[in-house]
Structure 1
């Protein structure tokens, strides 16, 4: 998003093109916005300068993220598709997250080239639109399916008998398909936006606050804070449920807490830095603090390395989420297995001991009743 891909266009007010030192081709500013209001014309607007240092930093970092992300997610996709049987509802959302990561990975080489040439895009306007659309879709999909994974664990622990908690794999697949449809619609405006010159940044869309830009800004804010609130709600609810039902020694609830802890870590490490520096840049622009704006805009641009990092960190989440995935990954890499977690990742592993004893008692009673009925019929 570069306030483009993983993030969305900019949340920031629009700034006119920055004044740049001589170069083979004009380079866009590190962070430009499009919300200037008529009442602010009394002061000259700030022009955040593009930083060759930021481009020099991003190009090699994105190369490393591409290699690690491709290796990790290729391994994950192979394990899920060929070594994981049977699938669960959780597996469906994990695979959707893998697909979202590949949307980013296949586009990273183009961004590496872009920053290697100091923010000069030479693949054409259509390729730019597709590139920004797929990277922005990656950010939205990553956020959505991280949230879906958290809520899936929440349902299994807090509402284990609810129909949603016991949904089949096909039901989960239909939900995932519906979510993908919504995600594509939310980011479709990037395919309709015109990009000019040699710049290819979704957060630099001109000087007028177009409807597309305003939507992009709103989506950027909502897709961070709203899912984060849902994830934190799931964590608190699971923690309280574990204490209330005495599930602290059960493998399922413990794994659920580990998964959600990793989800929060991935979420904050990848997406929080760009949010902080983006909003700081907006405030600096409003206050006409040009020096501060220049620093914040460069920090924002550099923070894109963290947003792209999500494709590298997600395979770590898969290891915490599924003992089967971890075992298969170790086997494929020739690593020692270590201590095995024999608990099944199904509904029963999330139940309290008292509930399981009651269920066992009812099943035993039903079996005896069936025996009695069968004996009576045979004697009749």
Structure 2
């Protein structure tokens, strides 16, 4: 009887051993490549923001916080790649598992919070031009950035509250009220921090595009840059965050219904999409370039080879000049001043 009960309990626990070693070997290689690309990229971006761009003078405090969040993510990638290489979905060390999930939740929450704030700022600048933009005041304040990080802690700490298999026992563990509330809260945080911001971003993007169509030709150049910011953030969400949220929902349905074979497949898909979500640390620098042309210039001046830099400058000069013909002669008209953060 005791053996039967132990087997029943054991069957409900997910020990995180992978069902397909080849899949996770491939994922391990992808994560290692993300780390190899992300570490020098984010270190160089961090260097530019601090020493060349001087973010505190260029009103780019929120952009700097996104860099910090990305750097936290990059720091977690070697441990994730190592676990996958061992044929495990997470570290066998309980505290390492909890610390990894804590860092991933914190990074994701911070990235989403600061990216959404930037998109809202662009939205108010375009759609509600002339009205008081409270977001612009908030995003220039280091104190507000600190408050955002502190507010993220209550949403992240539940990952550290108890021992759980695979850093998630929802539908697996022998449920008690405490376990159920903790796991449910963690799932609510996971989905809400992706789906709610995505709805906000979708609204901002649609309204910004609609506003752009109503503007005259002279104003479109400035608004197009604002639209690029909003759309680039929406693309990052669509590629990096939304797919893993959908896969997570499917995984929970499979788990709660007890469809073990289907779950074994969905788990692999979910982990693969989670690995895809780590790509945001490589895509975020595009947002920095769209948000502030000064960042792009500082980065090129510091790291771009001289001969390539000259070519890029020449190409940029060509593309930012509009030639019109009036009364039989050509006039060179510079584009409208770029929208800055």
Given that residues 88 and 168 in structure 1 are in contact (C-alpha distance below 8 angstroms), is that contact kept between their aligned partners in structure 2? no
- Cα distance, 1:286 vs structure 2: 4.7
Distance 2:256 2:98 in 1: 29
Given that residues 205 and 227 in structure 2 are in contact (C-alpha distance below 8 angstroms), is that contact kept between their aligned partners in structure 1? yes
Residue 339 (structure 1) aligned with residue 304 (structure 2): no
- Give the structure 1 partner of residue 327 of structure 2: none
Alignment partner of 1:162 out of 112, 118, 131: 131
Larger radius of gyration: 1
- Cα distance, 1:346 vs structure 2: 4.3
Residue 265 (structure 1) aligned with residue 230 (structure 2): no
Residue 139 (structure 1) aligned with residue 108 (structure 2): yes
Residue 293 (structure 1) aligned with residue 263 (structure 2): yes
Q: How do residues 86-97 of structure 1 correspond to structure 2 at under 5 angstroms?
A: 87=56, 91-97=60-66
Given that residues 70 and 105 in structure 1 are in contact (C-alpha distance below 8 angstroms), is that contact kept between their aligned partners in structure 2? yes
- Cα distance, 1:121 vs structure 2: 6.0
- Give the structure 1 partner of residue 290 of structure 2: 320
Distance 1:170 1:98 in 2: 15
- Give the structure 2 partner of residue 125 of structure 1: 94
Instruction: Identify if the C-alpha distance between structure 1 residues 298 and 268 changes in structure 2 by more than 3 Å, giving closer, same or farther.
Output: same
- Give the structure 1 partner of residue 329 of structure 2: none
Which structure 1 segments of 5+ residues have no match? Answer: 1-14, 19-26, 31-49, 348-380
Which is helix-richer, 1 or 2? 2
Given that residues 89 and 167 in structure 1 are in contact (C-alpha distance below 8 angstroms), is that contact kept between their aligned partners in structure 2? no
Q: How do residues 191-340 of structure 1 correspond to structure 2 at under 5 angstroms?
A: 191-195=160-164, 201-204=166-169, 206-208=173-175, 209-246=179-216, 249-331=219-301, 332-334=303-305, 335-336=308-309, 337=312, 338-340=315-317
Distance 1:227 1:166 in 2: 15
Given that residues 17 and 29 in structure 1 are in contact (C-alpha distance below 8 angstroms), is that contact kept between their aligned partners in structure 2? no
CA RMSD of aligned residues (A): 2.8
- Cα distance, 1:271 vs structure 2: 1.2
- Give the structure 1 partner of residue 324 of structure 2: none
Instruction: Identify if the C-alpha distance between structure 1 residues 130 and 166 changes in structure 2 by more than 3 Å, giving closer, same or farther.
Output: closer
What is the TM-score of this pair, normalised by structure 1? 0.71
Instruction: Identify if the C-alpha distance between structure 1 residues 248 and 165 changes in structure 2 by more than 3 Å, giving closer, same or farther.
Output: farther
Cα offsets for 1:145-187 (capped at 9, x unmatched): 2211111111221233333358458753333222111112210
- Cα distance, 1:210 vs structure 2: 2.5
Distance 1:192 1:245 in 2: 52
Alignment partner of 2:13 out of 13, 17, 23: 17
Alignment partner of 1:106 out of 71, 75, 89: 75
SS at match of 2:130: coil
- Give the structure 2 partner of residue 23 of structure 1: none
Distance 2:217 2:163 in 1: 55
Instruction: Identify if the C-alpha distance between structure 1 residues 287 and 188 changes in structure 2 by more than 3 Å, giving closer, same or farther.
Output: closer
SS at match of 2:168: coil
Distance 1:220 1:100 in 2: 17
- Cα distance, 1:217 vs structure 2: 0.6
Instruction: Identify if the C-alpha distance between structure 1 residues 153 and 66 changes in structure 2 by more than 3 Å, giving closer, same or farther.
Output: same
Residue 28 (structure 1) aligned with residue 28 (structure 2): no
Cα offsets for 1:308-327 (capped at 9, x unmatched): 11111111222222222222
Distance 2:79 2:36 in 1: 14
- Give the structure 1 partner of residue 4 of structure 2: none
Q: How many residues align?
A: 303
Alignment partner of 1:69 out of 21, 38, 48: 38
Which structure 2 segments of 5+ residues have no match? Answer: 1-10, 321-334
Residue 78 (structure 1) aligned with residue 47 (structure 2): yes
Structure of higher RCO (CA pairs closer than 8 Å, 6+ residues apart): 1
Given that residues 139 and 145 in structure 2 are in contact (C-alpha distance below 8 angstroms), is that contact kept between their aligned partners in structure 1? no
Question: Which deviates more, 321-330 or 169-178?
Answer: 169-178
SS at match of 2:316: coil
Instruction: Identify if the C-alpha distance between structure 1 residues 72 and 306 changes in structure 2 by more than 3 Å, giving closer, same or farther.
Output: same
Given that residues 87 and 169 in structure 1 are in contact (C-alpha distance below 8 angstroms), is that contact kept between their aligned partners in structure 2? no
